[in-house]
Amino acid sequence: MDTTLDDPLVGRVLDGRYRVDARIAAGGMATVYRAVDTRLDRVLALKVMHPALAADAGFVDRFIREAKSVARLAHPNVVAVFDQGTDGPYVFLAMEYVSGCTLRDVLRERGALRPRAALDILEPVLAALGAAHRAGFVHRDMKPENVLIGDDGRVKVADFGLVRSVDSVTNTTGSVLGTVSYLAPEQIESGVADTRVDVYACGVVLYEMLTGSKPHTGGTPAQVLYQHLHEDVPPPSAAVPGLAVGLDELVAQATARNPDLRPHDAAALLGLVLEARAQLGDAELDAVPPQARAEERSSAEDRTGVIPRPVSAQPPVHHTSRLEMPPTPPPATHRPASASSRLPRLPRRRVLLVIAGVLLSLGLGTGVWYISSGQFTKVPNLLGKTEAEARSQLSAAGLGVKGVERKFSDAFDRGTVMNTDPPGGKRIRGNGAVTITISRGPQVIAVPNLEGRPLEEAKKELANAGLAPGIVTQAFSQDIAQGSVISTDPKGGIKRAPDTAVNIVVSKGRPVGVPSVVGLPADQAKASLEGLGFKVETAPEQVNSPAAAGTVANQSVSAGAQAAAGDTITLTVSKGPRQLPVPGVTGQDVDVARKTLEAAGFKVKVEKPFLSFGNTVDTQSVPAGQTAPEGSTITIKTKGL
């Protein structure tokens, strides 16, 4: 059944301009319609806010201000805003219409995506968010539903502006707007929403594209919120074995629960994505995911909603329209109420003291020893170890890795462990987990002096220093050996931030002048060029040319040009000139005859006897109808005494 038939807006013209043709989608804050701008005869999308929100005059004012700001956000990967208006109870935005589907549609249909496809979608999304972040906007509700994929393959981000305006209202009530599956921990705890909440949501979206499912799931939205606060997003490879480690690291960096450990905005995350893609091979990018389908159900987890933040000083208030945070993790199984569960609840500290007193009074020495000692193990000292070594030692000790953080350090080499939480020597439970902090090296790095170093050696030295090889170009040099570094940009000694790209100019060696070998026998020409240090190849096809058969008709590098030793010069061998039919010109005027012969591909020589009369051709050196080599000379004579 077509539900648009029951929609009162379908068929109406809003603001005397926008004819509503069909309903596209309905969300928690607004309904989207396909419409036609009758003034410009243009198809567009019309987002009409729900009447309950539109009735708030303060909200409408803020919404209009935000719409004007977002309209100035011109970016090829952002859904453009054309107009904003009101018509009676309806407040609306007129936006670009993208014919296609959402990323949510793709995930429902295909499940997990290949890494290459996931990155192809993520990169334009981050480009759009990066532009928004630079303009002072935070999306606040990034999710697959807001990623549009056009029929032409273009990727666009939707729903800028509306989220920001609504959030401005809900912050005053102690609530936060968003979709539970993509909310950052700080949004849930305090309502804080800067550029890093979009980074977190993009990390969750990347996880979902790589695995086909969300990282945090539960029976209720409250359980999902609890996991955001207390559990790291697992590595995608745990769900899809074989995924590259670089993809795990991307997700971990973007979804760090501590916002200070995430890339500071979408542009910074885009840089990490591009760097990770460059390090992945084709086999890793095109790894085929399991053919599992994402969940088809639509639940409260997938919809944008107003969610109250937990307030520790107040008892939970039960309300059908709000979601409450659980004070403790949700129980794994349901247990029937017992006598003890009906007793008044004691403070946690008093409960622990009562349990300890009972154990001591019963004389359970062995049990106490097990609780206080037998369950614990010491964290190994991991300082200075590589991440791989640290993981191996923790595993050998029966411990896991809770998370990986990365910070600058002048004391520890880049890529080595600079800190652990808990620290080495500390006792924790035998099945516990440790957070390791990996050094990013000094916060400012001096570019090494690479002049005269072979290219591959120079690249390794840059990587060891914490910098990235940039664009490599070539130039001639009288002093630097071929294949070695002439210069870098920035120059050696200049200080830059870690991971800065350093462009490299590599020597082509001394320039060598290329001689002309056209007309020489092919073997002689090849020997001459090889004697100068060039590589010589012969074109597979020979050509007709004025040069004699077997000689060089053309060379790929012109005579007089400069090239480097080792450069390749291709020679094209002549198979001689073409044989062309000679036209008859006797009896013609000399000037007419000359033009006729030249047009036929010949050179012309005119001979006139000392005592001649008239200007008419009497004879020609090659009779009409015979052939002669292209470019050869035909002699014509006038009649004499």
- Tell me which residues are annotated as active site: 141
C-alpha 174/C-alpha 118 separation (Å) is 35
Look at residue 397 and give its three-state secondary structure.
coil
Query: What contacts 554, CB < 8 A, 6 or more positions away?
Result: 518, 543, 545, 571, 572
The first and second tokens of residue 233, run together, are 């997003």
Q: How far apart are CA 465 and CA 156, in angstroms?
A: 37
Burial per residue of 595-613, b for 16 or more beta-carbon CB atoms within 10 angstroms, e otherwise: ebbeebbbebeeebeeeee
Instruction: Write the Ramachandran bin of 61: left for phi over 0, alpha for psi from -120 to 50, otherwise beta.
Output: alpha
Distance CA 67, CA 14 (A): 18
Report DSSP state, residue 1.
-
Strand-pair category, 90-96 with 30-37: unpaired
Sign of CA dihedral 16, 22, 24, 26: positive
Q: List strands edge to edge, sheet with 501-507.
A: 468-475, 501-507, 485-489
Please give the Cα distance from 25 to 287 (Å, whole number). 33
> Which positions ≥6 away from 18 have C-beta within 8 Å?
35, 36, 37, 38, 44, 46, 92, 94
Q: Look up residue 69 and give its two tokens.
A: 């700001």
d(CA 450, CA 483): 12
Q: CB neighbours of 217 closer than 8 A, spacing ≥ 6?
A: 224, 301
Residue 327 near residue 198, CB atoms below 8 Å: no
Distance CA 184, CA 228 (A): 7
Main-chain phi, psi angles of 368, to 5 degrees = -65, -45
Distance CA 530, CA 539 (A): 16
Q: Report residue 375 as tokens.
A: 């369950």
Of the candidates 167, 329, 197, 191, which has an alpha carbon nearest to the alpha carbon of residue 258? 197
Instruction: Kindly compute the dihedral angle of the four CA atoms of residues 122, 124, 127, 129, in this order, to the nearest 10 degrees.
Output: -70
Answer for the pair 421, 435: CB distance below 8 angstroms, yes or no: yes
Q: Is 626 helix (H, G, I), strand (E, B) or coil?
A: coil
H or E stretch including 73?
none
CA 525, chain centre distance (Å): 50
Helix/strand/coil (H/E/C) assignment for every residue in 79-126? CCEEEEEEECCEEEEEEECCCEEEHHHHHHHHCCCCHHHHHHHHHHHH
Sheet holding 42-49, edge to edge: 13-14, 18-26, 30-37, 42-49, 90-96, 81-87
Q: For residue 287, which of 118, 121, 432, 437 has the smallest C-alpha distance?
A: 118
Helix, strand or coil, per DSSP, at residue 444: coil
Q: Which two tokens stand for residue 598?
A: 């030249």
